[in-house]
Amino acid sequence: MKLVIATRNAHKLEEIKSIFDFQHLEVLSAFDFPEIPDVIEDGNTLEANAIKKAVEISKATGCWAMADDSGLEVNVLDGAPGVYSARYAGEQCSYSDNNKKLLRELMGKKDRSAQFCTVIALSDPEGNVKTVSGKCHGLIIDELRGSTGFGYDPLFVPEGYTETFAELGSEVKNRISHRAQALQKACDEWADFISR
């Protein structure tokens, strides 16, 4: 059975592949289907976007599809950037633009608590969907530290650690992250669904 991971984010793809045990599945990604346009992420929630991506990609490819929608919620900013994490600093912005904007918004703020959240959806070609979610709590520091990972990783220190995700590296991140927690639940909950 073929399963498409519905992302063109190489970092995310690598994380998902190294965390989730795909066993007998043949794993493809959106990179294998360059003719399929990007799914427009216009939902108001991570769950809505993850479901939309999984269903549209499974229908377009005729394969099973797994999609992840994630975001960083900063408590003192009322949960921003949240579902808008990718385009926090504007439509065509870079990770660096987003990180700079976040540091500006948090300047002088004492409460630095935040959480990465993710929803992962799995759709079969008929559009039957299941979802799991994961969260990782931590703090936003006031300077960029570390060079691994992607996105807000250089600003996020997970609870129980003193280094950022970008300093801790993929081995630690893939054990404790929001994505790791969701995928661990997926391993437990989806075994029967996948092997039908």
Q: Which residues are catalytically annotated? A: 69
Taking alpha carbons only, the member of 166, 179, 169 closest to residue 140 is 166
Q: Which CB, 108 or 160, lies closer to ligand IMP?
A: 160
Measured from the CB of residue 177, what is the shortest distance to ligand IMP in angstroms? 6
β-pair partners for 71:
117
117 touches 134 (CB < 8 A): yes
The only residue of 73, 124, 153, 167 in contact with ligand IMP, by rule CB under 6 A: 153
Q: Where are the alpha helices (DSSP H) in 20-155?
A: 46-61, 95-106
Measured from the CB of residue 119, what is the shortest distance to ligand IMP in angstroms? 9
Q: Which CB, 26 or 159, lies closer to ligand IMP?
A: 159
Quick one: CA dihedral 21, 183, 32, 154, positive or negative? negative
Q: Which CB, 53 or 63, lies closer to ligand IMP?
A: 53
Measured from each CB, the residue nearest to ligand IMP is: 151
Can residue 36 be called a binding residue for ligand IMP (CB under 6 A)?
A: no
Taking alpha carbons only, the member of 9, 20, 6 closest to residue 181 is 20
Can residue 20 be called a binding residue for ligand IMP (CB under 6 A)?
A: no
Can residue 124 be called a binding residue for ligand IMP (CB under 6 A)?
A: no
Q: Which CB, 26 or 142, lies closer to ligand IMP?
A: 142
Given strand 2-5, what is the order of strands in its sheet? Answer: 26-29, 2-5, 64-74, 113-123, 129-140, 156-158
State the number of binding residues for ligand IMP (CB under 6 A).
19
Query: Which backbone phi and psi does 91 adopt, to 5 degrees?
Result: -55, -50
Burial of 131 (0-12, 13-18, 19+ CB in 10 A): buried
Can residue 73 be called a binding residue for ligand IMP (CB under 6 A)?
A: no
Instruction: Indicate the length of the chain as a whole number.
Output: 196
Q: Which CB, 45 or 195, lies closer to ligand IMP?
A: 45
The only residue of 25, 86, 139, 172 in contact with ligand IMP, by rule CB under 6 A: 86
Q: What is the binding site for ligand IMP (CB under 6 A)? A: 9, 41, 68-72, 85-86, 95, 98, 116, 149-153, 177, 179
